[in-house]
Structure 1
Protein backbone atom coordinates (compact mmCIF):
# COMPACT_ATOMS: atom_id res chain seq x y z
CA UNK A 1 0.00 0.00 0.00
CA UNK A 2 1.13 3.50 -0.75
CA UNK A 3 1.97 6.16 1.81
CA UNK A 4 -1.20 7.98 0.77
CA UNK A 5 -3.31 4.89 1.56
CA UNK A 6 -1.72 4.69 5.00
CA UNK A 7 -2.25 8.40 5.60
CA UNK A 8 -5.90 8.07 4.54
CA UNK A 9 -6.34 4.97 6.70
CA UNK A 10 -4.79 6.76 9.68
CA UNK A 11 -7.15 9.68 9.23
CA UNK A 12 -10.11 7.28 9.02
CA UNK A 13 -9.08 5.51 12.20
CA UNK A 14 -8.02 2.37 10.30
CA UNK A 15 -4.42 2.47 11.43
CA UNK A 16 -3.01 -0.82 12.64
CA UNK A 17 -3.71 -1.34 16.30
CA UNK A 18 -0.94 -1.38 18.81
CA UNK A 19 0.26 -4.75 20.00
CA UNK A 20 -0.53 -3.89 23.63
CA UNK A 21 2.81 -2.56 24.86
CA UNK A 22 3.39 -1.03 28.27
CA UNK A 23 2.50 2.47 27.05
CA UNK A 24 -0.92 1.27 25.90
CA UNK A 25 -1.76 -0.39 29.20
CA UNK A 26 -0.58 2.61 31.24
CA UNK A 27 -2.37 5.30 29.19
CA UNK A 28 -5.94 6.20 30.19
CA UNK A 29 -8.66 5.79 27.56
CA UNK A 30 -8.76 8.58 25.01
CA UNK A 31 -5.11 9.55 25.36
CA UNK A 32 -2.53 9.08 22.61
CA UNK A 33 -1.26 5.52 22.63
CA UNK A 34 -4.33 4.14 24.40
CA UNK A 35 -5.87 2.68 21.24
CA UNK A 36 -9.20 4.45 21.81
CA UNK A 37 -10.66 7.44 20.05
CA UNK A 38 -10.32 10.90 21.58
CA UNK A 39 -13.27 12.32 23.52
CA UNK A 40 -15.21 15.28 22.17
CA UNK A 41 -13.31 17.65 24.52
CA UNK A 42 -9.90 16.75 23.07
CA UNK A 43 -8.57 18.59 20.02
CA UNK A 44 -9.17 16.84 16.69
CA UNK A 45 -6.03 16.39 14.59
CA UNK A 46 -5.75 18.75 11.62
CA UNK A 47 -5.93 15.85 9.12
CA UNK A 48 -9.31 14.74 10.51
CA UNK A 49 -10.60 18.32 10.48
CA UNK A 50 -9.47 18.73 6.87
CA UNK A 51 -11.19 15.48 5.82
CA UNK A 52 -14.44 16.54 7.51
CA UNK A 53 -14.40 19.77 5.49
CA UNK A 54 -13.96 17.78 2.27
CA UNK A 55 -10.28 18.69 1.96
CA UNK A 56 -7.37 16.36 1.67
CA UNK A 57 -6.61 14.84 -1.72
CA UNK A 58 -9.61 16.43 -3.38
CA UNK A 59 -13.32 16.90 -2.90
CA UNK A 60 -14.07 14.20 -5.50
CA UNK A 61 -12.05 11.55 -3.65
CA UNK A 62 -13.82 8.18 -3.51
CA UNK A 63 -13.99 6.19 -0.26
CA UNK A 64 -11.29 3.55 0.04
CA UNK A 65 -13.69 0.72 0.87
CA UNK A 66 -11.47 -0.23 3.78
CA UNK A 67 -13.06 -1.13 7.06
CA UNK A 68 -11.77 -1.61 10.57
CA UNK A 69 -11.30 -5.18 11.74
CA UNK A 70 -11.16 -5.95 15.45
CA UNK A 71 -9.63 -9.41 15.33
CA UNK A 72 -6.17 -10.36 14.14
CA UNK A 73 -4.23 -13.48 13.30
CA UNK A 74 -0.62 -13.84 12.21
CA UNK A 75 0.10 -16.05 9.22
CA UNK A 76 3.63 -16.84 8.15
CA UNK A 77 4.18 -17.25 4.42
CA UNK A 78 7.20 -18.01 2.29
CA UNK A 79 8.90 -15.31 0.26
CA UNK A 80 7.42 -16.88 -2.88
CA UNK A 81 3.88 -16.85 -1.44
CA UNK A 82 4.28 -13.21 -0.44
CA UNK A 83 5.50 -12.33 -3.95
CA UNK A 84 2.51 -14.21 -5.43
CA UNK A 85 0.15 -12.25 -3.20
CA UNK A 86 1.76 -8.95 -4.16
CA UNK A 87 1.62 -9.95 -7.84
CA UNK A 88 -2.10 -10.69 -7.46
CA UNK A 89 -2.59 -7.25 -5.88
CA UNK A 90 -0.85 -5.58 -8.80
CA UNK A 91 -2.84 -7.61 -11.36
CA UNK A 92 -6.09 -6.68 -9.64
CA UNK A 93 -5.08 -3.04 -9.75
CA UNK A 94 -3.58 -2.93 -13.24
CA UNK A 95 -5.85 -5.26 -15.19
CA UNK A 96 -9.09 -5.04 -13.24
CA UNK A 97 -9.04 -1.54 -11.75
CA UNK A 98 -9.35 -2.85 -8.18
CA UNK A 99 -7.14 -1.02 -5.68
CA UNK A 100 -7.17 -3.43 -2.75
CA UNK A 101 -4.58 -4.28 -0.15
CA UNK A 102 -3.15 -7.73 0.52
CA UNK A 103 -5.27 -8.15 3.63
CA UNK A 104 -8.44 -7.67 1.60
CA UNK A 105 -7.28 -10.27 -0.92
CA UNK A 106 -6.58 -12.76 1.87
CA UNK A 107 -9.96 -12.11 3.55
CA UNK A 108 -11.80 -12.62 0.25
CA UNK A 109 -9.82 -15.78 -0.51
CA UNK A 110 -10.64 -17.20 2.92
CA UNK A 111 -14.33 -16.38 2.45
CA UNK A 112 -14.38 -18.13 -0.95
CA UNK A 113 -12.60 -21.25 0.33
CA UNK A 114 -14.80 -21.50 3.44
CA UNK A 115 -17.99 -21.09 1.38
CA UNK A 116 -16.76 -23.85 -0.95
CA UNK A 117 -16.06 -26.10 2.06
CA UNK A 118 -19.53 -25.40 3.47
CA UNK A 119 -21.33 -26.14 0.22
CA UNK A 120 -19.23 -28.99 -1.21
CA UNK A 121 -17.79 -30.65 1.88
CA UNK A 122 -15.53 -33.56 0.96
CA UNK A 123 -15.39 -32.42 -2.67
CA UNK A 124 -14.26 -28.89 -1.75
CA UNK A 125 -10.99 -27.51 -3.05
CA UNK A 126 -9.72 -27.10 0.51
CA UNK A 127 -10.28 -30.76 1.46
CA UNK A 128 -8.78 -31.95 -1.84
CA UNK A 129 -5.67 -29.76 -1.48
CA UNK A 130 -5.14 -30.67 2.17
CA UNK A 131 -5.38 -34.36 1.25
CA UNK A 132 -2.87 -33.80 -1.57
CA UNK A 133 -5.26 -34.55 -4.45
Structure 2
Protein backbone atom coordinates (compact mmCIF):
# COMPACT_ATOMS: atom_id res chain seq x y z
CA UNK A 1 0.00 0.00 0.00
CA UNK A 2 1.48 3.34 -1.08
CA UNK A 3 1.19 6.46 0.98
CA UNK A 4 0.89 8.76 -2.03
CA UNK A 5 -2.39 10.41 -2.71
CA UNK A 6 -3.90 10.61 -6.16
CA UNK A 7 -3.80 14.18 -7.50
CA UNK A 8 -5.80 15.58 -10.42
CA UNK A 9 -4.02 16.17 -13.70
CA UNK A 10 -3.46 19.54 -15.36
CA UNK A 11 -6.44 19.01 -17.69
CA UNK A 12 -8.73 18.64 -14.68
CA UNK A 13 -7.25 21.61 -12.82
CA UNK A 14 -7.41 24.04 -15.74
CA UNK A 15 -10.63 22.94 -17.41
CA UNK A 16 -13.30 25.53 -18.13
CA UNK A 17 -16.00 25.57 -15.46
CA UNK A 18 -18.48 27.63 -17.48
CA UNK A 19 -20.04 26.52 -20.75
CA UNK A 20 -20.50 29.23 -23.42
CA UNK A 21 -24.00 30.71 -23.46
CA UNK A 22 -24.27 30.10 -27.19
CA UNK A 23 -21.75 28.10 -29.19
CA UNK A 24 -20.93 29.60 -32.59
CA UNK A 25 -21.69 27.43 -35.56
CA UNK A 26 -19.50 27.30 -38.63
CA UNK A 27 -22.03 29.10 -40.86
CA UNK A 28 -20.48 32.58 -40.87
CA UNK A 29 -22.26 33.73 -37.74
CA UNK A 30 -20.27 35.23 -34.93
CA UNK A 31 -20.29 34.08 -31.29
CA UNK A 32 -23.35 36.23 -30.53
CA UNK A 33 -25.41 34.39 -33.14
CA UNK A 34 -25.74 37.06 -35.83
CA UNK A 35 -24.01 37.69 -39.14
CA UNK A 36 -20.49 38.96 -38.58
CA UNK A 37 -20.64 41.84 -41.06
CA UNK A 38 -23.97 43.14 -39.74
CA UNK A 39 -22.73 43.74 -36.20
CA UNK A 40 -21.84 47.26 -35.04
CA UNK A 41 -20.84 48.64 -31.66
CA UNK A 42 -24.17 50.40 -31.24
CA UNK A 43 -26.17 47.31 -32.24
CA UNK A 44 -24.57 45.31 -29.42
CA UNK A 45 -25.42 47.87 -26.74
CA UNK A 46 -29.18 47.26 -26.70
CA UNK A 47 -28.99 46.46 -22.99
CA UNK A 48 -27.11 48.66 -20.55
CA UNK A 49 -23.58 47.53 -19.76
CA UNK A 50 -23.16 46.26 -16.19
CA UNK A 51 -20.24 45.03 -14.17
CA UNK A 52 -20.41 41.38 -13.25
CA UNK A 53 -21.32 40.47 -9.67
CA UNK A 54 -19.08 38.50 -7.33
CA UNK A 55 -18.60 35.17 -9.04
CA UNK A 56 -15.86 32.96 -10.40
CA UNK A 57 -14.49 34.70 -13.48
CA UNK A 58 -12.77 32.91 -16.35
CA UNK A 59 -10.41 35.74 -17.30
CA UNK A 60 -7.98 37.77 -15.27
CA UNK A 61 -5.88 40.86 -15.80
CA UNK A 62 -3.32 42.49 -13.57
CA UNK A 63 -3.57 46.23 -13.06
CA UNK A 64 -0.91 48.20 -11.26
CA UNK A 65 -2.09 51.20 -9.25
CA UNK A 66 -0.34 53.74 -7.08
CA UNK A 67 -0.61 53.67 -3.31
CA UNK A 68 -2.93 56.68 -3.47
CA UNK A 69 -5.22 55.01 -6.03
CA UNK A 70 -5.40 51.83 -3.96
CA UNK A 71 -6.18 53.82 -0.82
CA UNK A 72 -8.91 55.77 -2.66
CA UNK A 73 -10.39 52.51 -3.94
CA UNK A 74 -10.41 51.05 -0.43
CA UNK A 75 -11.96 54.24 1.00
CA UNK A 76 -14.67 54.05 -1.68
CA UNK A 77 -15.36 50.42 -0.82
CA UNK A 78 -15.67 51.27 2.87
CA UNK A 79 -17.89 54.28 2.11
CA UNK A 80 -20.19 52.06 0.04
CA UNK A 81 -20.51 49.76 3.04
CA UNK A 82 -20.87 52.47 5.71
CA UNK A 83 -23.10 54.96 3.91
CA UNK A 84 -25.05 52.76 1.50
CA UNK A 85 -25.07 49.32 3.11
CA UNK A 86 -23.32 47.74 0.10
CA UNK A 87 -20.72 45.13 1.07
CA UNK A 88 -18.69 44.77 -2.11
CA UNK A 89 -15.08 43.87 -2.78
CA UNK A 90 -12.58 46.03 -4.66
CA UNK A 91 -12.87 43.86 -7.76
CA UNK A 92 -16.62 44.51 -7.97
CA UNK A 93 -16.07 48.26 -7.65
CA UNK A 94 -13.47 48.13 -10.44
CA UNK A 95 -15.72 46.00 -12.71
CA UNK A 96 -18.60 48.46 -12.25
CA UNK A 97 -16.32 51.43 -12.96
CA UNK A 98 -15.01 49.74 -16.11
CA UNK A 99 -18.58 48.94 -17.25
CA UNK A 100 -19.62 52.58 -16.73
CA UNK A 101 -16.64 53.92 -18.68
CA UNK A 102 -17.14 51.46 -21.56
CA UNK A 103 -20.86 52.27 -21.77
CA UNK A 104 -20.00 55.98 -21.86
CA UNK A 105 -17.44 55.34 -24.61
CA UNK A 106 -19.98 53.38 -26.69
CA UNK A 107 -22.67 56.02 -26.22
CA UNK A 108 -20.62 59.21 -26.56
CA UNK A 109 -17.56 58.14 -28.55
CA UNK A 110 -15.39 61.20 -29.13
CA UNK A 111 -17.11 63.11 -26.31
CA UNK A 112 -16.83 60.32 -23.73
CA UNK A 113 -15.11 60.96 -20.43
CA UNK A 114 -12.54 58.26 -21.19
CA UNK A 115 -11.45 59.88 -24.47
CA UNK A 116 -11.31 63.33 -22.85
CA UNK A 117 -9.21 62.11 -19.89
CA UNK A 118 -6.83 60.06 -22.06
CA UNK A 119 -6.31 63.03 -24.37
CA UNK A 120 -5.67 65.26 -21.37
CA UNK A 121 -3.04 62.81 -20.08
CA UNK A 122 -1.40 62.60 -23.52
CA UNK A 123 -0.88 66.35 -23.77
Q: TM bucket by the smaller chain?
A: 0.5 to 0.7
Of 51, 75, 100, the residue aligned with 2:63 is 75
1:85 Cα offset (Å): 0.2
Of 119, 122, 128, the residue aligned with 2:110 is 122
1:35 Cα offset (Å): 5.4
* TM-score with structure 2 setting the length: 0.57
Of 105, 110, 115, the residue aligned with 2:98 is 110
RMSD value over aligned CA atoms? 2.3
Residues 96-126 of structure 1: per-residue CA shift (max 9 Å, x gap): 0000000000000000000000000011000
Unpaired runs of at least 5, structure 1: 1-25, 37-64
* TM-score with structure 1 setting the length: 0.53
The structure, 1 or 2, with the larger RCO (C-alpha pairs under 8 Å, 6+ apart) is 2
Unpaired runs of at least 5, structure 2: 1-6, 16-52
In the alignment, the residues of structure 2 paired with residue 115 and residue 76 of structure 1 have an alpha-carbon distance, to the nearest angstrom, of 23
Residue 99 of structure 1 corresponds to 87
